[in-house]
């Protein structure tokens, strides 16, 4: 299995660096970005940081009225329009809308996602976590690809998760059509897919000026946990009986602002100018996981496999054919 080399580069930032630390000294004024899920949780903080640095930020949302209310206090050039990642006609229409407004796109941040939800089918009988987290973003990137290529140095950041270490892609039954649905396995393979998508995109278009990275943002309590009750989060070690962060979580978890910094670093760092396809965590490139890797860090070999990236790309195109 050929893997993209994964090794920390010593970025100089910490796991809990803040957005202003990451963006200091980086010229972003006049650039254009799309941030999916950019009105909630760490996506909101990503939008706030980029807009504050002079980036024109497009935020696609299922509920524009709700998003506009959330973003009302955020300063900057922010544009909210309707898009539903589970409805591919909606995704393609949104891509056409942005491409019609902007001659180039400098940043695409695939931040939106769902986690550990009840079994739901969308599209062509697709499992919803894989469909929303991966297929929807795959189609969005395809629709925006001419604009990304036109930027002459664009970056795409796909939000993965340490949850990817639970499962490779279920190559023989991606959509749980022959096996019982298990929400955490479904989430895990969708996060592996996010990492492989970034690697595959970089393999295909890196030499044409579109570099891609995947990101584990860290542990952060956000609306992503909407499908989890406190009893389950307590069992996972995230909260106590009263719903407050556990002692372990207080040590490891980040605030929403800290949770967006690895995204910002992957999207803007000059240290990554000559590379791509890497999985990042804690504002640095992650190490390749081995037998002695800590539970909540490092990237599994299957998530940085070039063969896996090619196989996923081909499988996704077949699903869309």
As annotated, the active-site residues are: 187
Of 20, 108, 104, 93, nearest to 58 (Cα)?
108
Contact 6, 299 (CB under 8 A): yes
CA distance 47 to 105: 15
Q: What's the number of CA atoms in the CB half-sphere (13 Å) around residue 180?
A: 1
Give the length of the chain. 321
Furthest C-alpha separation in the chain = 52
The crossing angle, in degrees rounded to 10, of helices 136-150 and 183-205 is: 20
Nearest Cα neighbor of 12 from 287, 297, 283 is 283
Cβ atoms within 10 Å, residue 259: 23
């Amino acid at each position: 299995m050929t893997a993209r080399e994964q090794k920390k580069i010593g970025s100089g930032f910490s796991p809990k660096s803040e957005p202003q630390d990451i963006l200091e000294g980086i010229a972003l004024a006049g650039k254009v970005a799309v941030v999916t899920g950019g009105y909630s949780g760490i996506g909101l903080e990503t939008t706030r940081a980029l807009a504050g640095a002079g980036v024109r930020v497009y935020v696609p949302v299922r509920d524009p009225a709700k998003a506009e209310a959330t973003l009302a206090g955020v300063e900057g050039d922010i544009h909210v329009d309707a898009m539903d990642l589970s409805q591919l006609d909606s995704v393609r229409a949104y891509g056409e809308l942005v491409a019609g407004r902007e001659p180039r796109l400098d940043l695409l941040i695939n931040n939106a996602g769902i986690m550990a939800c009840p079994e739901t089918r969308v599209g062509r009988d697709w499992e919803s976590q894989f469909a929303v987290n991966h297929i929807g973003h795959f189609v969005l990137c395809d629709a925006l690809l001419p604009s990304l290529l036109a930027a002459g140095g664009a970056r795409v950041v796909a939000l993965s998760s340490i949850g990817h270490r639970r499962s490779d892609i279920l190559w023989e039954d991606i959509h749980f059509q022959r096996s019982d649905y298990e929400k955490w396995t479904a989430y895990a393979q969708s996060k592996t897919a996010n990492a492989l998508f970034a690697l595959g995109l970089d393999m295909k278009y890196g030499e044409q000026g579109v570099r891609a990275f995947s990101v584990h943002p860290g542990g952060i309590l956000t609306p992503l946990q909407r499908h989890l009750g406190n009893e389950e989060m307590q069992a996972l070690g995230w909260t106590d009986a009263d719903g407050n962060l556990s002692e372990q979580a207080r040590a490891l978890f980040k605030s929403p602002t800290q949770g967006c910094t690895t995204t910002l670093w992957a999207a803007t760092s000059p240290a990554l100018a000559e590379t791509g396809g890497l999985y990042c965590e804690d504002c640095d490139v992650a190490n390749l996981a081995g037998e002695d890797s800590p539970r909540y860090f490092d990237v599994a070999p299957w998530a940085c496999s070039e063969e896996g990236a090619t196989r996923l790309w081909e499988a996704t195109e077949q699903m869309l054919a």
